[in-house]
């Protein structure tokens, strides 16, 4: 298995809703990432987990709450979002090594619309 699987592919939610995005990989990667991408812009890093521990939080608002229950699964819990949070949310994973020689594998993303 060489894929990162993201569900759902599309999500529409109201500003008072609570929802979760899910990301799964079975490549043995011990680093997992959440990115946010607005139209015609490059992906922006949100969170990094390494060995199931949060290692980087790029000053993301608390209405976004990441969780890494195990080495294969990464969740992003959403609560009280704003319309400007509408974007493509991408999950990625990579191996961990001192030489940082490994590349990233991205999922196909979740298209989120906040109404």
- Which parts of this chain interact with other proteins (CB under 8 A)? 6, 31, 40-43, 45, 48-50, 55-56, 88, 90, 92, 96, 98-101, 103-109, 111
Measured from the CB atom, the residue of 35 and 64 that comes closer to other proteins is 35
How far apart CA 115 and CA 101 sit, in angstroms, is: 41
- What are the angstrom distances between the C-alpha of 91 and each of 16, 84, 99? 24, 19, 22
Measured from the CB atom, the residue of 15 and 57 that comes closer to other proteins is 57
Measured from the CB atom, the residue of 26 and 104 that comes closer to other proteins is 104
- Shortest distance in whole angstroms from residue 99 CB to other proteins: 7
41 by Cβ neighbours in 10 Å (0-12 / 13-18 / 19+) ranks as exposed
- Shortest distance in whole angstroms from residue 60 CB to other proteins: 14
């Amino acid at each position: 298995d060489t894929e990162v699987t993201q569900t759902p592919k599309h999500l529409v939610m109201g500003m008072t809703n609570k929802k979760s995005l899910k990301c799964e990989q079975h490549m043995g990667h011990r680093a997992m990432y959440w990115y946010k991408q607005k139209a015609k812009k490059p992906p922006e890093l949100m969170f990094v987990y390494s060995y199931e521990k949060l290692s980087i939080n790029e000053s993301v608002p608390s209405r976004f709450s990441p969780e890494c229950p195990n080495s294969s699964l990464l969740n992003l819990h959403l609560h009280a979002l704003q319309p400007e949070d509408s974007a493509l949310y991408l999950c990625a994973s990579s191996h961990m090594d001192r030489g940082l020689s490994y590349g990233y594998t991205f999922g196909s993303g979740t298209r989120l619309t906040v109404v």
